[in-house]
Each structure stands twice: as C-alpha cells, then as structure tokens.
Amino acid sequence: MKIELAKSYGFCYGVKRAIDIAEKNPKSVTFGPLIHNKDEINRLANNHNVGLVESLDEALEHDTVIIRTHGITKDRLQRLKADGKKVINATCPYVTTPQQIVEKMSQEGYTIVIFGDEKHPEIQGVASYSVAAERTFTVLDESELSALPLGAKVALVAQTTRKPDAYQAIAAELVVRVQELRVFNTICNATFENQEATEELAKKSDIMIIIGGKNSSNT
C-alpha cells in the first residue's frame, strides 16, 4: 500500500498563530473553541491550562479571555473590554480584514453582502461589524440574491474558507444587479491551496483520509 500526502495540508497561519498565543497565556479561557480541532483544544487545556467557555456570562467570570481564531461579535468584544477583562485577541488577521471592511463599507452607505454560512461564528462576527443590520445580508449562493433589497451600492466579502468559483458566481450576478459593486477577495490562500491539493490527490488515489475537525470549514 502506497501512502501519499497532499502537496498542501496542515494548520494554516491563523491557527498556528492562535495556538502560539494560547500556549503563552496559561490560566486563561478561550471564548468559544480557539480552533475547530478537539484534540488540539484538549492538549491546550491539559498541557497549558487554557480553558474553554461557551457563553459571555461564563467568559465574564474569568480574568483573561482569549478571542478565538474565528473572531467574536463586536458587542461581545466591547462588553469584555468594558468589564475590564484582559482580552487577548487570537482572531486570525484574515478574519479581522473582512470585519474591518464590513464596518467601513456599511459606514459609507454600502449594502453588505457576505458569502458564507450565517451560523458560522466567523460570519456572525464579521456581520456584527456592520453599522446597518437592515442592509446586511448573508448568502450561500447567487440564487438567494434576487429576493434581497440590495440598493445601488453593494460591498461583497467572503468567509475565508469559501471556494473561489462560488464567490465568482455571486459577484457576477451582482455586477448586473447594482450600480456599483465592491468585491473584496477575503478568501484565504491557505484554504485555497489545501482545496487544490485535495482535488489533485483525489484524482490519483483509491481512498483518501482527511484528518480534521468535522465542524471545521477548513476541513
């Protein structure tokens, strides 16, 4: 039996960075799972005394709170800071970017369209940075666009782990629907490279085993 590894795999930059931050901050908790990988979260708990809380109320009981790679909503982050917590931000910089874009573009009057899963914490965080919830929409494909009151100016961002071709289809549909479309390429290269390597390896393999979190969009 021949075992071949994909050309690109493993933890991405943002995950490695978050683990590094967590290891350097023992006696802390992460608000929500730091990354979508149970083994790694257990290792951080056992070897580095980094706990996990799931709600804001629980987080407020601790002194040092680490923000997960996927980010959290703006109001929760503000609440933690307002309550004097030591907040350590392990949000992936590639997630911080769409948060900032959504805030700025919504301030400038653009309707916000987010390509992603509205139940995913990253997207809940990104969407929360809009200053105008009534003109902020999350879609999974271009068929959802026709029902939306888009207005004349739209800014489009994508969840970091989405596929580029699906993003292109949404952008193409918007081009003819609005007067001005501003598309920000917020899809992460690491995800894209892993997706390409997976496709390539799948073509020449009998069986593929993908090791990762079942709740992870990266996986």
CB 219 within 8 A of CB 210: yes
CB of 90 to its own copies, least distance (A): 24
Closest CB to its own copies among residues 146, 179: 179
CB 168 within 8 A of CB 191: no
Question: Which SS3 state, helix, strand or coil, does residue 114 take?
Answer: strand
CB of 85 to its own copies, least distance (A): 34
DSSP 100-167: HHHHHHHHTTPEEEEES-TTSHHHHHHHHT-S-GGGEEEESSGGGGGGS---SEEEEEE-TTS-HHHH
Among residues 23, 40, 118, 122, the one annotated as catalytic is 122
- What count of other Cβ atoms lies within 10 Å of the Cβ of residue 138? 19
Closest CB to its own copies among residues 61, 180: 180
Question: Which SS3 state, helix, strand or coil, does residue 99 take?
Answer: helix
CB of 190 to its own copies, least distance (A): 15
Site for its own copies in 175-214 (CB under 8 A): 175-176, 178-185, 187
Residue 17 binds its own copies (CB under 8 A): no
Which of 45, 36, 47, 91 is closest to 66 using CA atoms? 91
Task: Verify whether residue 122 is a known catalytic residue.
Answer: yes
Closest CB to its own copies among residues 23, 180: 180
CB of 62 to its own copies, least distance (A): 37
What end-to-end distance do the CA atoms of the chain give, in Å? 25
Closest CB to its own copies among residues 84, 149: 149
Q: Which stretch in 7-15, 19-27, 167-175, 201-209 sits in contact with its own copies by CB under 8 A?
A: 167-175
Binding region for its own copies (CB under 8 A): 164, 167-169, 171-173, 175-176, 178-185, 187
Residues classed as catalytic: 122
